[in-house]
Structure 1
Amino acid sequence: MAKFSIIIPIYNSEQFLKRCLDSVLAQTFEDFQVICIDDGSTDNSFNVLTRYKLKDKRIKVISQENCGQGSARNKGIEYVLNNSMSEYIYFLDSDDYIEQDLLESAWETFSTTDTDLICFNTEVVGDESSRLYRRARKYAQLSLVGLLNFTDNIKDLTNVYVWNKVFKTELIKNYDIRFAEKLCYEDIAFCKMYFLVSDKIYFDMRRFHHYMIREGSLMDLNFKSEIVALDHFRNWYEIFKMAVKNKEVFEAKKTIIEKWFWDYYFMTKSMVKTSGLMELEKLKAEYFKEFDKA
């Protein structure tokens, strides 16, 4: 059983995939497996994956019809839980890359502390003059350092990217934590639910991850769409559905779950206009009714 599983969803990433996989295979800590989920790519990505799979037996390749990044990551989780049950899971995007000592550092931290989660810094790679670059860089950078009790206040301050964190497989399994599917910003539901069941977090200021960002990317286009912006609020509902499955977790964390309801409601409200506002108010009424009954 490998200590780490690295889950990489791939969709038409031929241009960046070699750099991504080379950075993974260069890890100084070698006890890991790589779960690559080809999400219905129409370019040469699958052939690139096949070549790497033949070169290194630690690479597993799974294919599915195009269902989105959330679905692909969930398929990777299911593979880990059903086949290997590694101790830790790291999620990497196929156009990003990592430093060679990421896993070695994570192993040392997990081995010497009782943390439930590791969060490290990232380098944003792209046009430094662009609006998207500035926004991503501001949000991704850490302001806390070291091992901390994961209080509700710190849960609020911690960003919801998955690619700058390493997770314990046991918590993902025990609380059935998954990504939202067919929604944008699917990291929100996964991270927030994981935060709810975590007691300790370790912040590492080192930059182990390189985040590739481009104007005109899917993230950029999604952020500009008020209809897609509603997915911020829809992700709150995904958090609620996961939390309410475990009565003990829901009752213990009901206050912060309600706070997140209003946080995501008002954030989404600031991003949408007439047609989006009507849909937002409809979702607000539906979601709060269910929350109130739980």
Structure 2
Amino acid sequence: MISVIIAAYNAEKYLPECLDSVLGQTYKDLEVLVVDDGSSDNTLEIINEYSRRDPRIVPIHQENMGVAGARNTAFDRMKGEYFTIIDADDKIDTNAYAEALEAAESTGADMVIWGLDRFSEKGIVPQPDPMLKQGLYEGKECKKLWLDFIYREKRRVVPFLHCRMFRTSILREHGLRLNDKLKRSEDYMLLSEFHFFCGRVYSMTDRKFLHYRQNEESITHKYVEDYFGMVKLIYAEIKAFAKENKAYSEEFARRADRMCLYRTFMSIENENLHMVSQKEKLKNVRSFLCDPLVKGAAKRIGFRDGKRLYGKKYYAMRLGLASMLLKFCKG
């Protein structure tokens, strides 16, 4: 059985499309855990109506805990040998779970990764093809894939939770959870840990099963309070994880530094969404640039690699030019 997890918060507009795409799968042995995360619209009523029509729907209601808390609740309840996650405003191809399960069972993969396309009300949004080659990764190649996920330079590993099917026993054995302190990038932390513990990963990213809605109302298009604080937490936790699992190396440290700067630039993009004065934005960005973590990572990367990886943004960072960075990091 495959457990499908859907966290739903005020999702009445798109949830029926999502549920129809999941329930219409050619693979039928599903449990669909739909967590109403304290919605104030008709989301719970839609979930309950669907559960009356299809017993595979498992309705769960809780007070608002955020997407990480909602998914963790489902982790505690799921019963499938494998599990997958989909957002309440996305859709999935009819044959996706059947093909992913066939790949997992034929190769012994602990994780299967597929591709996606993006769409909006205006139609399909152009999406670059992933650079990750199709096929099975195991042994040393699997560990290299983990490093590529920490920071992808040569091979682009699809960064989304909902482009994967996972073996549930990996999650259980290692006590993996989503960090509910992270209001953004919480999926990155879980995926980096899951990748580390996988013995085999199968890539079928040429199969664009997921249809990802480019939703202007989503958190990626809104200001997230103290996102830079979350960047520092991610860096600290991923470093601690590597040391705890005896995987800390010079190469890991190099990737972690690059990840830190990449996400610091995301923090500056986030500041552009902050509804405060320009003076306050500049003050916040300067505080990022003065942080010892950022200064250390930027220095270790060096001007040559910094320019190659980040262009003018890197020079502006090293020179402490907050106003220029706000201009360069428009998102």
Partner-residue secondary structure (3-state), 1:51: helix
Q: CA deviation at 1:9?
A: 0.2
SS at match of 1:94: coil
Q: What is the aligned partner in structure 1 of residue 133 from structure 2?
A: 144
**Structure 1 residue 143 displacement after superposition:** 3.5
Matches within 5 A, 1:1-294: 3-80=1-78, 84=79, 86-126=80-120, 133=125, 137-138=127-128, 141=130, 143-149=132-138, 150-155=141-146, 156=148, 157-183=156-182, 184-204=184-204, 205-222=206-223, 227-228=226-227, 230-240=229-239, 247=244, 250-253=245-248, 257-271=252-266, 272=268, 274-276=283-285, 278=287, 282=291, 284=293
Q: Distance in 2 between matches of 1:281 and 1:169?
A: 42
Q: What's the offset of the Cα at 1:163?
A: 0.6
CA distance in 2, matches of 1:257, 1:175: 21
CA contact (8 A) 2:36 2:60 kept: yes
Q: In 2, distance between residues paired with 1:216 and 1:49? A: 21
Cα gap change, 1:200 to 1:45, in 2 (>3 Å): same
The structure-2 alpha-carbon separation of the partners of 1:111 and 1:17, relative to structure 1 and needing over 3 Å to count, comes to: same
Opposite residue 54 of structure 1, the aligned amino acid is R
Shift of 1:62: 1.1
3-state SS of paired residue (1:180):
coil
Residue 229 of structure 1 deviates from its aligned partner by 5.0
Partner SS, residue 211 of structure 1:
strand
- Taking the aligned partners of 2:237 and 2:123, their CA distance within structure 1 comes to 35
Shift of 1:234: 2.6
In the TM superposition, residue 76 of structure 1 has moved relative to its aligned partner by 0.7
Q: 1:254 to 1:177 in 2, by over 3 A?
A: farther
Partner of 1:292: none
* DSSP 3-state at the match of 2:36: strand
Q: Please give the per-residue CA displacement for 1:100-157, whole angstroms capped at 9, x wherever unaligned.
A: 1111111211111021210001111126799xx55xx33x745311112344443313
Q: Which amino acid aligns with 2:220?
A: M
Residues of 2 paired with 1:45 and 1:6: CA distance?
A: 17
Q: How far is the alpha carbon of 1:167 from its aligned partner?
A: 0.6
Query: Amino acid of the residue matched to residue 147 of structure 1?
Result: L
Under a length normalisation based on structure 2, what TM-score does the superposition of the two structures give?
0.73
Moved more, 155-164 or 23-32: 155-164
Q: Which has the higher contact order (CA 8 A, sep 6+)?
A: 1
Q: 1:279 to 1:46 in 2, by over 3 A?
A: same
What is the identity, as a one-letter code, of the residue corresponding to 2:161? V
Aligned-residue CA RMSD (Å): 2.8
Structure 2 counterpart SS, 1:14: coil
Aligned amino acid, residue 192 of structure 2:
K
What secondary structure is seen at the aligned counterpart in 2 of 1:206?
coil
Unaligned 5+ runs, structure 1: 289-294
Deviations 1:4-49 (A, max 9, x none): 1001000011010111001111111111101111111111000000
Residues 145 and 197 of structure 1: is their aligned pair in 2 closer, same or farther, counting only changes over 3 Å? same
Of all paired residues, the percent bearing the same amino acid is 26
- TM-score, normalization: structure 1? 0.82
Q: What residue ranges of structure 2 are gaps of 5+ in the alignment?
A: 149-155, 269-281, 298-331
Secondary structure of the corresponding residue to residue 188 of structure 2: helix
The verdict on how the C-alpha distance between 1:238 and 1:69 changes in structure 2, with shifts beyond 3 A counting, is farther
Give the corresponding residue for 2:276.
Answer: none
Q: 1:56 to 1:180 in 2, by over 3 A?
A: same
Cα distance in 2 for residues equivalent to 1:39 and 1:29: 27
SS at match of 1:20: helix
For residues 172-204 of structure 1, the C-alpha deviation after alignment (integer angstroms, 9 at most, x for no partner) is 111111112132121100100111111321111
Q: Is the 8 A contact 2:142 2:201 kept in 1?
A: no
**1:142–1:49 CA distance, 2 compared to 1 (3 A):** farther
Alignment length (residue pairs): 270
* CA distance in 2: counterparts of 1:90 and 1:112, whole angstroms: 18
